[in-house]
Amino acid sequence: MSEDIRVVNVNKDYTSGGKSMHAVEGVSFDIKDAEFICIVGPSGCGKSTLLRMIAGLESISGGEIFVGNKKVTGPSPSIGFVFQEYTLFPWRTVQKNVEFGLEMKKLPAQEREKVAAKYIDLVGLTKFKDSYPYELSGGMKQRTAIARTLAVNPEVLLMDEPFGALDAQTRNILQEELLDIWSKEHKKVLFVTHNVDEAVFLADRVIIMTARPGRIKEIIDIDIPRPRIRTETEVNKVRTSILKTLFEEVQKLSDH
């Protein structure tokens, strides 16, 4: 059974030159079942920091994070992370990049190949399985990174602006492909984005964060059936509401 993710009153402080800065303050939310949650907020509000704390890649200054009943104290195989940068090994083919995490788990070669092939097919790269990263487009590199993360079967998929560097058309295609993968794999997804259109298209819920220190300003449920039409009236209404709330926070930054 899939386990809930619980973020409980989490804080993150940084100290530099004797001065302390509050990056994230009092953040609490849950991810249940196979929810797809997006986080939006002004630049520098701690979205990526929050994601890294959930992944166990960064320490927590206060509060707790749980996967099921287990407290997050460091990186865990139950949590997968897809970065904005194309974090592929240039000397490995698509097949061998996707197999990497399985090698770390000491799976036999034949089983690694089988599992990797499944996820390479899932992201539509079977014809490119023997290609190296320099031979791939940006979208294909990110598909490979997603396949590599899914191959180790994490409970939750954390995605930090994974489509941010892509052109609009490729980004839209990958959003649709990600939703298709999500519906098949039944993973919890926590997805950081600056793009409100992307958040409304993808998410069950959108978490809006305040300007630094990053707190949760509002959580919006999106009860619009999928597949969503980007131009439909209900989508536009939700998008406008989120943009209005975000604008209030961005204004706070410009007022300082």
Same domain membership, residue 93 and residue 72: no
Q: Give the per-residue pLDDT at 38.
A: 98
Q: At 16, is the pLDDT very low, low, confident or very high (cuts 50, 70, 90)?
A: confident
Q: Average the pLDDT over 68-89 and give the result.
A: 89
Same domain membership, residue 62 and residue 49: yes
How many domains does the chain divide into? Answer: 2
Same domain membership, residue 243 and residue 127: no
For 202-214, the pLDDT digits (tens) are: 999 999 999 989 9
Same domain membership, residue 172 and residue 246: yes
Tell me: pLDDT of 27 over 80: yes
Using an 8 Å Cβ cutoff, are 222 and 200 in contact?
yes
* Residue 182 to residue 176: CA distance in whole angstroms: 10
Domain boundary among 98, 120, 153: 153
Domain encompassing residue 112 = 85-153
Same domain membership, residue 241 and residue 134: no
What b/e sequence results for 122-138 when a residue is b if at least 16 CB atoms lie within 10 Å of its CB, and e otherwise? bbebeebbeebbeebee
> Per DSSP, which regions of the chain are E strands?
5-16, 19-31, 36-40, 62-67, 70-71, 79-82, 156-160, 188-192, 205-209, 216-221
213 prior amide bond cis, ω within 30: yes
Domain boundary among 135, 153, 171: 153
* One-letter amino acid of 238: V
Q: Tell me, what CATH number does 243's domain have?
A: 3.40.50.300
Q: State whether the Cα torsion 183-220-156-113 is positive or negative.
A: positive
Same domain membership, residue 215 and residue 186: yes
Same domain membership, residue 182 and residue 70: yes
What b/e sequence results for 102-112 when a residue is b if at least 16 CB atoms lie within 10 Å of its CB, and e otherwise? beeeebeeeeb
Same domain membership, residue 244 and residue 233: yes
Question: Which three-class secondary structure state does DSSP give residue 129?
Answer: coil
Pairing of strands 188-192, 156-160: parallel
Same domain membership, residue 251 and residue 162: yes
* Residue 71 to residue 32: CA distance in whole angstroms: 16
Using an 8 Å Cβ cutoff, are 48 and 192 in contact?
yes
Same domain membership, residue 240 and residue 136: no
Domain boundary among 126, 153, 180: 153
Q: At 256, is the pLDDT very low, low, confident or very high (cuts 50, 70, 90)?
A: low
Same domain membership, residue 71 and residue 93: no
Same domain membership, residue 129 and residue 14: no
For 81-137, the pLDDT digits (tens) are: 998 887 899 999 999 999 999 999 999 999 999 999 999 999 999 999 999 999 999
Closest CA to 163 of 86, 248, 240: 86
* Residue 72 to residue 120: CA distance in whole angstroms: 29
